[in-house]
Structures are given as C-alpha cells and as structure tokens.
Amino acid sequence: MNTLEAIYSRKSIRGFFPQPVPKELIKRVLEAACQAPSACNMQPWEFIIVQAKARENLIKALLDAYEKEKRPSRTQSKIPAKYKERMQSLFNAIRPFTEKTPRFDTWRGSLEFYQAPVVIIVGKDKNIDYIRLLDIGLAVENLMLAAHELGLGTCPIGLTLRYADVISKTLNLPSQLELVLTIALGYPNPNLEVNKFKAPKIGIEECITWME
C-alpha cells in the first residue's frame, strides 16, 4: 500500500473482533507514530496502551460514570455554521449504516472503544502549550495509517475525554498528564454495516484560497 492509497482508504472503524493484537504489531504502530515531525523535535506525545483487565476496568468505570451523569460536550457552541453543517451531514450519512448495525450506540460504543482489544490513551504534559497538539495530531495520523497498512483498524475517540478525570483516576495516571485523545485499535469486523461506511470529504475548493 503506498502513502496515497493508505490516506484515501483509511477510515474510522466502529466494531472490532475480540482477537488480541500481538505486542510486536502494536509496537510497530507506535514506532510509526513517533516518526512524526514536531516543533524542535520535542516529540511532545505520550501514549498509554491499555489492554486486558486494565481495559475492562476502564470501560466499566466509563460506563458507570456515563450512567450516573451524561456530560455535555466540551466543544464551544460558537462553531461557525459551515462546520456545524458538515457535522450534521456526517450524522445523516452514517445513520443508514448504524441503523443496520445491531445494538449500535455512538455514546456507549465510544465509551467501550467499540469493543477494540487495545485502547490507546494519548496525552501531553500539562506544561506543553496547546499549540503542540498539532504535533500530536501528526503522530496520531501516522499511527492510524500504519495500523491500516498492517491490517488493523482504528477509531479516534474524543467523547471519552468528557470523562478524562475518570480515565486518569481509574488508570492512576500522573496528574501532570493532560489527556488529548483516546484511540480504539484492533482487527476490524468487516461484516458490520457501520464499518462499510466511508465518510464524505469536502472538495478542496471549500477550504483553499489560491493567491497568485
């Protein structure tokens, strides 16, 4: 698979087989993540790999917290209309697929990492400036493309961050670590209708300005 093929064929996976992922494969994915460029080569990313009993405990804690309290999005409601419209078109486009997927629920699914056997918590030191989230994003894209090339699937999951305090407490993470994303990683279940969905992307004319 060449780079462009990987970029164009990667997609978020929302249902996995329970089969564990060999540690060597997880390491290759993380090594690819760590090849990303970063300002002054600071490499400001931290990855916590959660599996087995630790993963079960985490999911239980997240679902318990969700049952107790449905926390609202941390996203500000000032999002300009055109981006809101794109969100709405995603929800409309994915619905026919989720409706045909037994027991699919975005909220619970996200908090259970869509059954993925591997959960990756992505974080940064609290004293690293927010602008360095860019560098971490580059590493995360590398991670997802490498996983895809190796026959694995990923879903970046931000919904879990509403319960970042629960994650940190359950996994006993250092207080200095600020969580920025969680990622589900595993073998995609291609039989699920939701995994046949490919999100539409905008045409470049919608986001570029030529100046000549």
Ligand X SMILES: Cc1cc2nc3c(=O)[nH]c(=O)nc-3n(C[C@H](O)[C@H](O)[C@H](O)COP(=O)(O)O)c2cc1C
Q: How far is the CB of 211 from ligand X (least distance, A)?
A: 29
Q: How far is the CB of 44 from ligand X (least distance, A)?
A: 17
How far apart are CB 34 and ligand X at their closest, in Å? Answer: 19
Q: Cβ of residue 212: shortest distance to ligand X, in angstroms? A: 31
Asked if 114 and 13 touch (Cβ cutoff 8 Å), the reply is yes
Report, in Å, the least distance between residue 144 CB and ligand X.
8
SS3 content of the chain, % helix, strand, coil (to 5): 50, 15, 35
Smallest gap, in angstroms, from Cβ of residue 78 to ligand X?
Answer: 18
**Which candidate, 130, 89, 104, 119, places its Cα nearest to that of 192?**
104
Closer Cβ to ligand X, 54 or 159, answer by number:
159
For residue 5, CA distances in Å to 40, 72, 148 come to 30, 37, 10
- Residues forming contacts to ligand X in the complex (CB under 6 A) are 11-12, 14, 90, 106, 110, 155-159, 181, 199
State which residue, 31 or 105, has the beta carbon closest to ligand X: 105
Residue ranges in the chain assigned as alpha helix (H): 3-9, 23-33, 52-68, 81-99, 106-111, 133-149, 164-171
Two structure tokens written together for 4: 């462009």
Cβ atoms of residues 192 and 149 within 8 Å: no
The residue (of 30 and 184) whose beta carbon lies closer to ligand X is 184
Question: Can you give the C-alpha Rg of the chain in angstroms?
Answer: 17
By beta-carbon proximity to ligand X, the closer residue of 144 and 171 is 144
**Those residues with Cβ within 8 angstroms of residue 178's Cβ, 6 or more apart along the chain or in another chain:** 123, 124, 125, 126
> Which is nearer to ligand X, 20 or 156 (by Cβ)?
156
**27/111 with CB nearer ligand X:** 111
